[in-house]
Structures are given as structure tokens and as C-alpha cells.
Structure 1
Amino acid sequence: MLIREATDEDWPAIWPFFHGIVAAGDTFTYPTDLGEHDARDWWLLPPPNRTAVAVDDDGRTVLGTAKMNANHLGNGAHIASASYMVDPAHTGRGVGRALCEYSLEWARTAGFRAMQFNAVVETNTHAVKLYESLGFTVLGTLPEGFRHPVHGYVGLHIMHRAL
């Protein structure tokens, strides 16, 4: 697997799994009816932020993607944030872990002091377990901060890791 900066040419491969993940409504706080144009603008970030893709060894198949950015502006701009999506056809292969490790290195290199995730759905136990294994802790949970399509109102974790 190779992780590299995403290009505009990667979007047609990202959009189908991005759309499916967002439409499912169980892991992201994005509108479930988010259209492709807005999704592209929200995900493919301009520098100094970054969007990356994980691709298979031949570089032709996009396995997953990550976007990395400052969590806030101004005096809060020293804290990074990131979001990840793995194509469901490629789960269980370490793609999410590789993307998270890549984003942590990007944040360190870019001079960020920490990384914070603002809205990790507590029922997304695979993501929570992955982030904890990489040194993140749950700082707090917004009770009933997310309306899950199956579980109803569930908490949103704020997770943090110093760099």
C-alpha cells in the first residue's frame, strides 16, 4: 500500500465510497444527502491542509482517503484534526491505521502540537479502538450528540493526542 497526496483525478474513485459512507449516516456528521460537488469541496482541501489517498501497490485502486487540517483558526491553529474513510471493499487490511499514522506524521512535520477529533461517534467502536491504540484518549463525550439511524441518539467523543 502507498499513501500519497490526493489529486483531482482521484475524486471519481473516492466519491462512490464517500457517498455510501455519508449516506449510511452512522459515522459522519455530514448531511446524508450531501451532493457530489459540495462533498468534493469539503474533502479535497487546498494547502496548507492536505488530502491523501491510500492506494494498492500498483497505484491504481484507491483503498481509502484522509483529510488533514488545522482544527481551528487563529490562536487555536496549532491543533490538527483529520478525518478518514476506507472503502468498505478494502476494510480489514490496515488502511485506516496507515492513514491515521500518515496524518499524525503530517501533523508533526507541519508543526502542530496535538491532534483532536471533534466528533467520533461512540458506536463507531472500530474507529475508537484504532484511535486509542494510536495514543488518543477520549477527553469527553457529548451525550446524545449524534442521531444514529439504528441506535438512536448516541454520544460524540472528543478525542485528543499530543504530538
Structure 2
Amino acid sequence: MNSNHNSTVEENIREAQVGQRSAYPPEPLQPAPQHEPPLPQARNHSRRIRRLRIRSLDDILSDDQNGEHRSTPDEIIIVSNTNYMSENARQLPDPKPELELETEPTGPIFNCPICMSQFTEEMSTRCGHIFCNQCIRAAIYTQGKKCPTCRKRVNLKDLRRVFLPAAN
């Protein structure tokens, strides 16, 4: 009966492989013999595992001239330290040397904190803050005799003319 049972199992397997149905209900299968190949493993699509095609720039340039090269995502291009120049490439003109400054700045540029432009007739308050003459006079008149920066009391008599190096 054991040989009869094995032949029935083998027939069921063959019929299942061919795609035909058996009129008999399938019998439980025996454990697979050791000579059968193992079940297929899941593929690893990791970028680290996949084999990459490595090509040099010389190969790619020669293929491009022949019209053969098609880039693929699994391709690494190695560029050597050699300068490549296409036969059809234009020579770029040498960049113009930068214009040298004819005059060097004489010092820092100071701006008035009220009008935010360069000083005209620099004036200093008693507290040491510097403004344009017109700006400080207008500020003292409108703000009630106070310095616009520190709010200390300032009179028109307390203003002194100063001369900064980069002004005028």
C-alpha cells in the first residue's frame, strides 16, 4: 500500500503541475525528499547588494561618439583626473583682470542715526552722540530738548562741531 500511496501522490503532483484537476480529492503530501531544490528566496533589491556596472569616462565618450551609450540606473561612472576637451568645444576667452580701485577708502563711513545718510556738518551733543547739524536741530526742537539716542537733556548751546576723517 505504501508504494501505491507514493505513486498516487506523485500523480497528484504531476497533475497539479500540468494544471489539470484530479477527480479525486488530494491526499496529504509526504515530506519532501532531500534531493529536491529548496524554495526560492525573496530577492534583495537593496542598492548595496545589486551589482553595479562601472564604466570609465573614456568608455562612455567612445560609446557616445558611436551612438551606443544608454545610461542605466545601475551604472557608476569613474572620472579620472584628466582634462577632457571636446573637438567642437569653444575656447572661452580669458577673464578680464579685475579693475583696480584707483583710490583706496580713507576711513570708515559714518551715517547719521536720524536721516540714515552720510553726515553733513557733523555736530556732537554733550552726551557724545553725533548727528547732522540740521537733523539734531530739528530733533531738539520737536522732541523737547532731548538727545534722540539717550534722551538726556540737550540745549542748542551744547552742540559742538566735530570733524570726522571720512566725512566730506
Which of these two proteins has the greater Rg computed from alpha carbons?
2
Larger RCO of the pair (alpha carbons < 8 Å, separation 6+): 1
Query: TM-score, normalised to structure 1's length?
Result: 0.14
Richer in strand (by share) = 1
